[in-house]
Amino acid sequence: MTEPHAEPAPSHDGTQAAPTRSARLDGLIGAAGAGVLRMSSADVGVSREARRRTRWVKLTGAVWLLVAVLWLRAVTIDGGSFIPFPTIDPFLLTIIIFFGLLLALMAGQQLMSARSPHVVYRPEQITTTLDDVVGIDGVKDDVVRSLNLFLAHKTFRDEMGGTPRRGLLFEGAPGTGKTHLARAMAREAGVPFLFVSATSFQSMWYGASAKKIRSYFKALRKAARKEGGAIGFIEEIDAIAMSRGGVASSMTAHGSSAIVSGCHGTTCLPASYAAAAVSPAGGASSPGTQTNALMSEGTGGVVNELLVQLQSFDDPTGAQRLRGWFIDRINLFLAPDRQLQRPDVVPSNILLIAATNRADSLDPALLRPGRFDRRVTFDMPAKAGRRELVDHFLAKKAHTAELDDPAQRDVLAGVTQGYSPVMIEHLLDEALVNAVRRGESQLTWADVERARLVEEVGMGQPVGYTDHERRLIATHESGHATAAWLTAPHRRLEVLTIVKRRSALGMLAHGDREDVFTRSRTEMQALVQISLAGQCAEEIFFGDVSTGPGGDLLYATNAAAEMVGAHGMEGSLVSYAAIQTSSFSDTNIVGRVLADDRGRDAVEGLLQAQKREVKALLEANRHLVEALRDALLEREELVGPEITDVLEQAAARPRVLDLTESAVAPARSNVVLP
Ligand SMILES: Nc1ncnc2c1ncn2[C@@H]1O[C@H](COP(=O)(O)OP(=O)(O)OP(=O)(O)O)[C@@H](O)[C@H]1O
Ligand SMILES: [Mg+2]
């Protein structure tokens, strides 16, 4: 990391001059985009140094005082012992010790239940540096900016009049690096890192959670005063900060005059359909959140305590309060124009970071400026980020030379779309396990492929299908794969299998070739067709349908409902997402569309039309389905190019064309369109 020019200039006699305010301001401004400020020359380091000196002065004073007392005692000693001990009756002593222990036990219990559950890490105990955080550059830059403001807090406040950021909320899916980055920040900042898991604040004793929260913030303030600054980290804050009942769920957009048009891209596109069907909840207005709102009535006190404590960083210390109390007493005797001033309260320099997977369910009051005023969103890394992560993790894992090839690493970054950093790390670990299983000490590309297959579609379970079932499943899956190859040349066919994996008897796994954020109508239609093609193949080859396509229909219905009710792709431009208060506004978008007669009819019409189209396509290309089916019956599982090889060979083979069939499909040569 490059060092910004925040060092004070040396003076003429060779010693370092104390940094002036403007030099520090220069440092802060110069650090923009350059990296983390050097702690020793930033405000945090300067105040730490000042406190260290004060500590030495106090210690020296105390030692001198002790020496003086001992000296006085030595010169005035009159024949007794140097340190006189009082004589106590042993019976009385036993009673005193017994009751003393009893009291200590009771007090101890009280103190333990109110003890802060945090763990303090010193910067030198943390091994994670900012260089170990890769693939999330946007987030990293934002966080480094906040860190610099924390380090140069006085300069920012006194010279620029700003209010330093006090709270950062890290939100994002599991494994996206929230804790990892917070650790790296603590190391780079060079201040104590007070880590606490929100669940450890919970207690079975009434009021104990609030006490623990108070103790935690007290420890934070104390550490910050001692060391010039401290970073607090609350892991999974949603455990104690769920929205209280009756508090408005959004503090951001409403009331603002700006019109913000959110483009959702592919966030609600097919990949999430199955999950959405199982759990229609999502977002602040979801049924899940409402349940929490009701439950949180009992924990409202904890949220309130958190809200109060988040504003306690400017509170005076005990000594300052005592001094203030004395000054108040003295002022009672003084005329108004002679009143003494209470001492200035120096705010504690604290950066509090909270991490959560569910920022939308947090109490809105926590998210207002002055509390967690900066929300940092950790998304799944894009392809370039995944490539950096692959390089980062492979640097530590034994691998063969083929994985040093940049093109191969690019492929790995491409096929891990939707993976979080920890998933990529885990994938490579699983690949290493595969290598060990083979009796090798280095992982190969084949190990990675095998690990990915297991991660994405599960372990194969050998089950004994009847001959008819095997043929039926092979035909069904071949229908999907043929339709995908014909209608969606932009998709990558990954696995075609009739081996039972998880709950699927057979499956076609296919994905986007590149990271995509939007889809066209044609692409959406292709997705619907691919999922309906299995049933069509069954009808064409067996003249009947089985229970197999249940999951396919779920997927197709979800996709079609989104097209009809959210994306305006089927004639109507009405968005069902706009329905806010009605009997079916609590359901997800699919539920809203299907609950409306006209929406349901449009979905049905769309599905039937797509089915007719894809069935005609498969009928015209029976030879492709047959070729894949035979290959599947023989090999049971085809991976990546194996699928396309079979299709390409079958398409290239000369066949007698029915003259009633029309010409060749534009996307692929040698295939027949209906
Ligand atoms: N950007 C990254 N660069 C390198 N490694 C990463 C990155 N993000 C995550 N990791 C790896 O993934 C592991 C898990 O990440 P981390 O614990 O930070 O996830 P998280 O977002 O806090 O998840 P959760 O929400 O479940 O707490 C880290 O220990 C680290 O090894
Ligand atoms: Mg975490």
Ligand 1 atom showing the smallest separation from residue 135 Cα: 1
Given this model, what pLDDT does residue 654 score? 67
- Contacts by residues 25-28 (CB-CB < 8 Å, ≥ 24 positions apart): 25/152, 25/155, 25/159, 25/160, 27/152, 27/155, 28/148, 28/149, 28/152, 28/155, 28/156
Is 477 an annotated catalytic residue? yes
Structure tokens at 518: 């939007």
- Residue 178 CA to ligand 2 center (angstroms) comes to 5
**Number of neighbouring beta carbons within 10 Å of residue 349:** 25
Task: Tell me whether the CATH fold assigned to 21-72+115-245+299-313+347-379 matches the one assigned to 467-654.
Answer: no
Chain position carrying tokens 């499956």:
507
Chain position carrying tokens 């009280």:
110
What is residue 159's DSSP assignment? I
Superfamily of domain 467-654: Peptidase M41 (1.20.58.760)
Ligand 1 atom showing the smallest separation from residue 381 Cα: 1
CA–CA gap between residue 498 and residue 475 (Å, rounded): 10
**Ligand 1, from 168, 180, 391, 429: best to mutate by most atoms within 8 Å of Cβ?**
180
**Ligand 1, from 422, 427, 429: best to mutate by most atoms within 8 Å of Cβ?**
422
Residue nearest to atom 12 of ligand 1 (CA): 422
Given this model, what pLDDT does residue 663 score? 40
Given this model, what pLDDT does residue 250 score? 44
- Residue 235 CA to ligand 1 center (angstroms) comes to 12
Whether the CB of 157 sits within 6 Å of ligand 1: no
Strand bridging mode 167-172 / 119-121: unpaired
Render pLDDT for 312-369 as a digit per residue (tens, 0 to 9). 877 777 888 888 899 888 888 887 888 888 877 778 889 999 999 988 888 888 888 8
CATH 3.90.1150.10 assigned to 21-72+115-245+299-313+347-379: no
Instruction: Give the dihedral sign, CA 665/668/670/674.
Output: negative
**Distances from the Cα of 181 to the Cαs of 2, 138, 152, 491, 529, in angstroms?**
18, 12, 20, 34, 43
- Give the DSSP letter string of 604-622: HHHHHHHHHHHHHHHHHTH
Given this model, what pLDDT does residue 533 score? 93
- Residue 191 CA to ligand 1 center (angstroms) comes to 21
Whether the CB of 365 sits within 6 Å of ligand 1: no
Whether the CB of 239 sits within 6 Å of ligand 1: no
Given this model, what pLDDT does residue 661 score? 44
Q: Which ligand is nearest to the CA of 174?
A: 1
What is the largest distance, in Å, between two alpha-carbon atoms of the chain?
130
Give me the CATH topology for the region 383-457: Helicase, Ruva Protein; domain 3 (1.10.8)
Chain position carrying tokens 């001492």:
343
**Half-sphere CA count of 67, side-chain side, radius 13 A:** 6
Residue nearest to atom 19 of ligand 1 (CA): 175
Whether the CB of 179 sits within 6 Å of ligand 1: yes
Given this model, what pLDDT does residue 359 score? 83
Q: Which ligand is nearest to the CA of 175?
A: 1
- Residue 133 CA to ligand 1 center (angstroms) comes to 9
**What separation, in Å, do the N-terminal and C-terminal C-alpha atoms of the chain show?**
60
Ligand 1 atom showing the smallest separation from residue 173 Cα: 25
Residue nearest to atom 28 of ligand 1 (CA): 180
- Residue 182 CA to ligand 1 center (angstroms) comes to 10
Residues in Cβ contact with 282 at an 8 Å cutoff, skipping those fewer than 6 apart: 276, 288, 588
CA–CA gap between residue 373 and residue 313 (Å, rounded): 15
Whether the CB of 357 sits within 6 Å of ligand 1: yes
**Rounded CA Rg of the chain:** 34
Q: Which ligand is nearest to the CA of 134?
A: 1
Instruction: Give the dihedral sign, CA 216/218/223/224.
Output: positive
Amino acid sitting at position 508:
L
Range list of H helices, 244-398: 273-278, 287-295, 300-309, 318-331, 383-394
Residue nearest to atom 24 of ligand 1 (CA): 174
CA–CA gap between residue 128 and residue 132 (Å, rounded): 6
Whether the CB of 48 sits within 6 Å of ligand 1: no
- Tell me phi and psi for residue 166, to 5 degrees: -105, -30
Which of helix, strand or coil describes residue 494?
Answer: strand
Residue nearest to atom 11 of ligand 1 (CA): 422
Q: Which ligand is nearest to the CA of 173?
A: 1
Whether the CB of 133 sits within 6 Å of ligand 1: yes
User: Active-site residue among 449, 477, 570, 648?
Assistant: 477
- Residue 228 CA to ligand 2 center (angstroms) comes to 26
- Tell me phi and psi for residue 82, to 5 degrees: -65, -45
- Residue 234 CA to ligand 2 center (angstroms) comes to 9
Structure tokens at 111: 């103190």
Residue nearest to atom 26 of ligand 1 (CA): 174
Residue nearest to atom 16 of ligand 1 (CA): 177
Structure tokens at 647: 């299709």
- Residue 459 CA to ligand 1 center (angstroms) comes to 25
Ligand 1 atom showing the smallest separation from residue 180 Cα: 18
CA–CA gap between residue 38 and residue 4 (Å, rounded): 8
Whether the CB of 425 sits within 6 Å of ligand 1: yes
CA–CA gap between residue 459 and residue 135 (Å, rounded): 29
Whether the CB of 377 sits within 6 Å of ligand 1: no
Q: Which residues of the chain have pLDDT under 70?
A: 1-22, 24, 27-34, 78-85, 245-300, 581-585, 654-674
Given this model, what pLDDT does residue 148 score? 87
Ligand 1 atom showing the smallest separation from residue 182 Cα: 18
Domain ranges in the chain are 21-72+115-245+299-313+347-379, 383-457, 467-654
Range list of H helices, 332-420: 383-394, 406-415
- Residue 653 CA to ligand 2 center (angstroms) comes to 55
14 neighbors 5 (Cβ within 8 angstroms): no
Sheet holding 637-639, edge to edge: 507-512, 491-497, 637-639
Given this model, what pLDDT does residue 657 score? 52
- Residue 238 CA to ligand 1 center (angstroms) comes to 18
Residue nearest to atom 29 of ligand 1 (CA): 180
